[in-house]
Amino acid sequence: MSEQNKPEKDKFSGVETTGHEWDGIKELNNPAPRWWLLVFIICIIWSIGYWILFPAWPTIAANTKGILGWSTKQELSDNQRDLQAIRGKFAEQLAATPLQDIANDPQLFEYARQAGLASFKTNCAACHGSGAAGGNGYPNLNDDDWLWGGKLDDIYHSIKVGIRSTHKDTRFSQMPSFGKDGVLKPDEIKDVASYVEQLHKGSAAETNEATARGAKIFADNCVACHGATGGGDRNQGAPRLNDAIWLYGGDKKSIIASVTNAHAGVMPTWEGRLDDDTIKALAIYVHSLGGGEK
C-alpha cells in the first residue's frame, strides 16, 4: 500500500505522474506555482463581491439589483444631468444676448453654432438636407442667394414665421400661374422663357426675335416683382432671375414649367415648436454656413 501512495515517477523526465493514464500514456505533473491558484481564488471571491454589489443575475421577472443600486440607466441620467448643468450657463447666456451680439463672444458663438447644428439636423434636414444644400424646390442655405434676405435678423425671422405657414405674420410670395390661368399663351411663355434664360446666361446666350418678344412680355408682366433686370425683390420673396442659382431649375423647360404653373413652396413656422433660443441658435448656424450677409 505504501508503495501505491508514493507518486510514480516518469522514467524519462524524472517528473512525477498524476496517476491518470490513457492508452498507456501517463499525464506528468508539472505543478503551477501556488500563487497562481491564489490569484484565481481571489478572482472568484472578487466576482462574488461583484454579484452582490452590482446588477448581475437574471431572474424570471427582472434581474438582481445589486446593493449599490448602480445601473447603466441611472448613470446615463446622471451624466445627462451633469451635461445640462454645463450647458445651463451657455443657455442662459444665449437667451440674454441679442442675436447681433452673440458673435462678440467666440465661446458663446461656437455654443450657438453647435446647438443650431444639432437642431438643424433634427428639424430642418428633412427638406434642406443634412448639409443644408437643399434640393429642387428647397433652397440651398450655403449659397449667397436669399429669397427673403440673408442677414441674421432676416434668417431668424424666416425661421420664426415660415413661408405660407400658419403663423399670423407668415410670408407669401405669389407668382401667378400665367399658363394655367390663361394670362399668357403657350407661345408667349416660350418667348419669355427664352428671355429669362438669356438673362442669367448673360452675353453668352444668343439674342434673337424670340428673346426680343420675350423682353416685351417680361416688361409687361414680370418686372413688378422680379425687377427690370431680373434682380428679384426680397421684400416679396421674388427670386432673382439674373444669377446662376435656380430653385426649380434654370433650363428652358423648367422655366416654362414655372411660368405656366407657378410654384408655392411651404416652410412651417417654428415659433411655438422651437423655443426662441433654439431659433436664435439656428439662425446663427445657417448664417455661418458661408452665405450669411452682414
Partner 1 sequence: MTDKSLSEADAPKIKFFEKARRIYPKDITGTFRRLKWAVMAVLLAIYYFTPFIRFDRGPHVPSQAILIDMEGRRAYFFMFEIWSQEVYYFAGILILAALFLFFATSLFGRVWCGYACPQTVWTDLFVKVEHFIQGDHVARQRLDKGQWNFNKIWRKVVTHILWIVIGAATGGAWTLYFTDAPTLIDQIIHLSVPWQTQIWIYALTASTYIMAGFAREQVCAYMCPYARFQSGMFDRGTLIISYDKERGEPRGSHKKGDSWDNRGACVDCNACVQVCPVGIDIRNGLQYQCIACGLCIDACNDIMDKVGLPGNLIRYDTANNQEARAACHSKGEVFKEKNHLLRPRTIYYVCVMTLVCAIMLYSLLGRAPFTLNVLHERNPLFVTLSDGSVRNSYKIHILNRNLHDQTFALSVNGVDVKSIKILAATEVEPEKLGVLADSVGEFRVTVAAELPSKEVRRDIEFVIRSTSDGSEARTKTMFIGKAQ
Binding site for partner 1 (CB under 8 A): 1, 4-8, 16-19, 21-23, 29, 31-37, 102-106, 109-110, 129-133, 140, 142-145, 240, 243-245, 288-291
CB of 146 to partner 1, least distance (A): 10
CB 7 within 8 A of CB 16: yes
Closer CB to partner 1, residue 16 or residue 56? Answer: 16
Closer CB to partner 1, residue 178 or residue 285? Answer: 285
DSSP designation for 19: E
HEC sequence for 155-192:
HHHHHHHCECCCCCCCECCCCCCCCCCCCCCHHHHHHH
CB of 254 to partner 1, least distance (A): 14
CB of 214 to partner 1, least distance (A): 21
Closer CB to partner 1, residue 102 or residue 159? Answer: 102
CB of 101 to partner 1, least distance (A): 11
What gap in Å lies between CA 289 and CA 118, rounded to an integer? 14
Closer CB to partner 1, residue 133 or residue 257? Answer: 133
CB of 107 to partner 1, least distance (A): 9
- Non-local CB neighbours of 231 within 8 Å, separated by 6+ positions: 240, 241, 242
Closer CB to partner 1, residue 132 or residue 267? Answer: 132
Q: Which helix (H) or strand (E) holds 73?
A: helix 72-96
What gap in Å lies between CA 13 and CA 276, rounded to an integer? 85
